[in-house]
Amino acid sequence: MPLPKGDYVSDVWKDGIFANKVVFCTGGAGTICSAQVRAMVHLGANACIVGRNVEKTENMATDIATARKDAKVIGIGNVDVRNVESIQAAVHKTIEELGGIDYVIAGAAGNFLAPINQLSPNAFKSVMDIDVLGSYNTLKATLPSLAISAKRTKTESSPSPLGGRIIFVSATLHYTGTPLQAHVGVAKAGVDALSNSVAIEFGPRGITSNVIAPGPIAGTEGMERLSRKEDAAAGKKQIPLGRWGTVREIADATVYLFSEAAGYVNGTTLVVDGGSWRTQSTNPSSGFLYPDFLVGDDVVSGVKGTKKAKL
């Protein structure tokens, strides 16, 4: 059964603005990325989502396709963003079945809670490989298609191409530093730097590169795995707007950056977090209070996303 439109995209956007366009998304079966793609599909695009889990990815693609009659959405599982050949094969299939790629969402990511003294080199490397190397591999595999789209969609009446755009999904953890998230903070800082380099090097070819940095978003795997339910109320109080965000608000930001309205937006980060990064520094919404938890060398407990390996 199709989701209500209001769950994943606002009414302010005009139907059909992405007609005949194609979006390619890594991590597309995730809560946030699937909402981003669903919004694009509702507004006219066709799509390919890729992920590790075959069944989950294929089922999500089928579900996203219900957002618009006659939408084409393919799901490709068993894709490892850490392997560039794996991504290249998915890109080739997308072009073969959908005709090209106009927009890319690099959304594959890994996360868990762990203080540095309980974080093994392998665990650190795993997050770096998924987030940074995975984003780079996604970029490398899709750049030729983005360049073609940028050239094809540029018109005399519109100085900015209506394609050839990439969004990297990042975070705000590294802005101030966040306890238990050193590995992810370092990885997301790398993702941000990559996006900035793409904007500089490929802007002259009409390609834009931007970052969306979500804050605490309700109903996502991240909030379920990385926070404790009993700490939710206290966490919301630390957010200036006093609430968690919604996947629709991330999807709306995506629609904006891919739309004609953002044709001159390049090399920037759009933070969608209710202002929470300005108050997050040493009081994460996970509820592990600073500095007591760290100086006691306690083991992270009460959440699904943990790593216990010690140096």
Which active-site residues does the annotation give? 170, 188
The C-alpha atoms of residue 5 and residue 33 are separated, in whole angstroms, by 16
| Residue in the structure block whose two tokens are 């579900």 | 63
The C-alpha atoms of residue 252 and residue 24 are separated, in whole angstroms, by 17
Burial status of residue 297 (CB atoms within 10 A of its CB: 0-12, 13-18, 19 or more):
exposed
What are the start-end ranges of the E strands in 228-286?
269-272
What is the sign, positive or negative, of the torsion defined by CA atoms of 199, 202, 204, 205? negative
Q: What one-letter code names the amino acid at 227? A: S
Structure tokens at 168: 């990297």
What's the per-residue H, E or C state across 6-21? HHCCCCCCCCCCCCCC
Number of residues that make up the chain: 311
The C-alpha atoms of residue 138 and residue 91 are separated, in whole angstroms, by 9
Strands 103-106 and 165-169: parallel
| ∠ Cα 31 211 213 (to 5°) | 55
Q: Which of 268, 274, 254, 280 is nearest to 208 (CA)?
A: 268
